[in-house]
C-alpha cells in the first residue's frame, strides 16, 4: 500500500511526497465516556491510512482518495461541500487552521489504506489527524501532538460530529504493545501493557454502515450534559463524571428526565469498568477483562441505547462458544464492529460459526478483522 500510494502521487503530481501513516484504533472499553470527561482504554492498531503529500503548484487543493477511486480539486478557501462527503474533512480542517492563524497553502494529497469505513474504527479521525499531521510537517506549523489533538477535534466539530478526544488521542499517541488509559478530565494518559497471552483481540464487522452526523449520537451527549449542568449548579466542584458517584446521582433522580438519568448512570458505570479492566490487565486476569466487555455491551444496548440488532446478534451468538472470553460493540454505535477476546486456537472456528449464522439471519456478509496493537501516527521513511 505504501509504495502504491507513493507511486500514484509521483505519477499524478511529478513530486516526491512527504509520506506518513495514520493508524486506526480500537477502544477496549470506555465507550461514550470521552465527551463526558471520564475514562477510556483505547489502543492504536496497525490498520491505517497512508498519506502522500506535497505542496501544489497552483495553490489549490488536489485530492486523490485511492480506495474510493475519487478525486477532488478546489481552492483553499472554498468552504462548501456536500453534506457528509469526505472532502468536508479537508475543508473544515483548513477553516479551523485559518481561524487559529496558521498559514497553510494548497497541497496535493494521495491517500488510502485498510481501515474499514463506517466500522467504528475511526477511519474519519485517521483521515483528519493524518491530514493535520502532514500539514504540520509540510508547512512547519510547529504544532505539538497535544495541540493537534484539539485542532483535529475542533475540525470534526465543524464537520458536525461532536465527539470527544478519544480517537484523536489514540491515533496521535499510540504505543506498540500498549493501551492508553485516558483521563479526559485532566487530558492525560498512562500506558498500560497489553499482555493477554494466547488470546487475541478480533473485530467482527456487521457491515451495517452508519454516519454519526445522522445518528442520535449528539442526543446522547446532550442528555449527559443536562445531568452534569444540574449537578454543577449545586456543587461547583462537579465538573465531570469523575467528580460524583452513583449515590450522588440518585439524589437528583427525581429532578432529571428518566432517560437522561439512565444515560448518566451508564457513563458512571462504564468509567468504573475501565478502571477495573486496567487492574485486571495488570494482574493478568484475562477472564475478568472479558467479563467487563460483556457488561459494557449490556449497558450500551439497554441503557445508552446505541447498539442495533446486528451488533447484538454478533455478541449474543458467540457468548457460549469455546474460547470466547468477552465481546462488546465499539465506536459510536448503530452499526460497525464488535471487539472480541478469543483464544488464538478458536478464532477461525468462532468466525466460521458466526459468519454463517449472521448471513442466514441478515443476508449480509460480516467481516473479520484481526488487529494488532501498533504505533501512533508517524512519518514513513
- What residues are labeled active site? 167
**CA-derived radius of gyration, the chain:** 21
Categorise residue 36: left if φ over 0, alpha if ψ from -120 to 50, beta otherwise.
alpha
Cβ neighbours for 73, distance < 8 A, ≥ 6 positions apart: 60, 61, 62, 63
Residue with cell 499517541: 173
Contact 53, 18 (CB under 8 A): yes
Categorise residue 337: left if φ over 0, alpha if ψ from -120 to 50, beta otherwise.
beta
Strand partners, 203: 339, 369
Give the span between the Cα atoms of 179 and 181, in whole angstroms.
7
Contact 344, 199 (CB under 8 A): yes
H or E stretch covering 15: none
Amino acid at each position: 500500500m505504501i509504495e502504491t500510494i507513493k507511486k500514484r502521487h509521483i505519477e499524478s503530481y511529478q513530486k516526491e511526497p512527504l509520506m506518513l501513516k495514520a493508524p486506526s484504533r480500537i477502544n477496549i472499553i470506555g465507550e461514550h465516556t470521552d465527551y463526558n470527561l471520564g475514562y477510556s482504554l483505547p489502543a492504536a492498531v496497525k490498520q491505517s491510512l497512508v498519506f502522500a503529500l506535497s505542496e501544489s503548484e497552483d495553490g489549490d487543493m488536489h485530492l486523490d482518495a485511492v480506495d474510493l477511486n475519487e478525486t477532488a480539486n478546489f481552492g483553499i478557501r472554498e468552504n462548501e461541500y456536500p453534506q457528509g462527503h469526505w472532502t468536508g474533512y479537508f475543508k473544515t480542517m483548513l477553516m479551523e487552521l485559518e481561524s487559529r492563524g496558521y498559514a497553510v497553502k494548497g497541497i496535493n494529497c494521495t491517500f488510502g489504506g485498510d481501515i474499514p469505513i463506517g466500522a467504528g474504527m475511526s477511519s474519519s479521525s485517521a483521515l483528519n489527524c493524518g491530514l493535520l499531521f502532514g500539514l504540520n510537517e509540510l508547512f512547519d506549523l510547529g504544532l505539538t501532538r497535544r495541540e493537534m489533538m484539539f485542532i483535529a477535534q475542533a475540525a470534526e466539530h465543524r464537520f458536525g460530529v461532536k465527539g470527544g478526544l478519544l480517537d484523536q488521542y489514540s491515533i496521535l499517541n499510540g504505543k506498540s504493545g500498549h493501551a492508553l488509559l485516558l483521563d479526559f478530565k485532566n487530558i492525560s494518559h498512562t500506558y498500560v501493557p497489553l499482555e493477554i497471552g494466547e488470546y487475541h483481540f478480533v473485530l467482527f464487522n456487521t457491515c451495517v454502515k452508519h454516519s454519526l452526523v445522522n445518528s442520535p449520537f449528539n442526543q446522547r451527549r446532550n442528555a449527559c450534559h443536562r445531568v452534569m449542568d444540574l449537578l454543577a449548579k449545586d456543587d461547583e466542584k462537579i465538573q465531570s463524571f469523575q467528580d460524583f458517584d452513583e449515590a450522588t446521582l440518585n439524589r437528583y433522580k427525581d429532578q432529571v428526565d428518566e432517560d437522561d438519568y439512565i444515560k448518566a448512570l451508564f457513563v458512571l458505570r462504564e468509567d468504573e469498568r475501565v478502571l477495573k479492566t486496567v487492574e485486571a490487565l495488570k494482574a493478568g486476569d484475562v477472564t475478568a477483562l472479558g467479563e467487563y466487555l460483556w457488561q459494557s455491551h449490556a449497558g450500551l444496548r439497554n441503557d445508552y441505547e446505541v447498539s442495533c440488532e446486528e451488533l447484538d446478534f454478533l455478541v449474543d451468538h458467540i457468548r457460549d462458544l469455546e474460547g470466547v472470553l468477552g465481546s462488546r460493540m465499539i465506536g459510536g454505535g448503530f452499526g460497525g464492529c464488535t471487539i472480541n477476546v478469543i483464544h488464538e486456537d478458536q478464532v477461525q472456528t468462532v468466525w466460521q460459526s458466526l459468519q454463517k449464522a449472521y448471513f442466514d439471519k441478515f443476508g449480509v456478509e460480516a467481516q473479520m478483522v484481526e488487529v494488532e496493537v501498533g504505533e501512533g501516527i508517524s512519518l514513513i521513511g
